[in-house]
Chains A and B, each alone.
Chain A
Amino acid sequence: DIQMTQSPSTLSASVGDRVTITCRASQRISNWLAWYQQKPGKAPKLLIYRASTLESGVPSRFSGSGSGTEFTLTISSLQPDDFATYYCQHFNTHSFGQGTKVEIK
């Protein structure tokens, strides 16, 4: 089974900060990776698919990169609405990373 590992588990940041979350796959997965945002009490929301393609309607401050086994989600300038938990997902096996909670510093 392919395992998806995110780091860090928790990230403390301030509004305006540049934030980077990493997702590593235990095997090469090409670019079959998606990123989701989840806020408390809400369903996840798709942000990025195929590692770097921004879902329609998602602000351009979000970006994704990577291929093979290492991927990153970057928020260029953190906004108050961005404090949430972020998950990566290997799209072929549908397995999720354990999540990264972005907290207010």
Chain B
Amino acid sequence: QARLVQSGAEVKKPGASVKVSCKASEYRFTGFYLHWVRQAPGQGLEWMGWINPDNGDTDFAQKFQGRVAMTRDTSINTGYMELTTLTSDDTAIYYCARECGGRAFDFWGQGTMVSVSS
């Protein structure tokens, strides 16, 4: 079955950027949108945006526009989420998730903890 494996935990200083990777396997990477969702400590889920791995199209939640980029490398079946100008409010677990058209997010990565602290 499909699998998404994310990069490891990151510790960043305020003002820095972070780039998280999400490697897909056991399915056709370009056939399914890839979403990013984050979860601050003890809080709920927050949708950040998606990328269409087939053509690179993206859409972001208004809150993150101008500060987030989502890219992909189809040669290695990997998606990336980069968040810039980090603050302590960006401390969270970041998940990638596959959208199965009309069925919501059916497979999720294991999560990547990003800590922002001076």
A residues bordering B, Cβ < 8 Å? Answer: 34, 36, 38, 43-46, 49-50, 53, 55, 87, 89, 91, 93-99
Contacts and interface: CB of A to CB of B under 8 A. Distances in A.
9 contacts: A36-B105, A38-B45, A43-B97, A43-B109, A43-B111, A44-B37, A55-B103, A94-B50, A94-B61
Given A87-B45, A94-B47, A99-B45, A50 B108 contact: no
Interface in B55-112: 61, 95, 97, 102-106, 108-111
A43 B50 CA distance: 17
Interface of B: 35, 37, 44-47, 50, 61, 95, 97, 102-106, 108-111
Given A43-B110, A44-B105, A46-B104, 18 more contacts: A34-B103, A34-B104, A38-B45, A44-B45, A44-B97, A44-B108, A50-B103, A87-B44, A89-B47, A89-B104, A89-B105, A91-B104, A94-B61, A95-B47, A96-B44, A96-B45, A96-B46, A98-B44
A23 to B, nearest CB: 13
Nearest to B46: A96
A81 B117 CA distance: 35
Nearest to B47: A94
Nearest to A94: B47
A95 B35 CA distance: 12
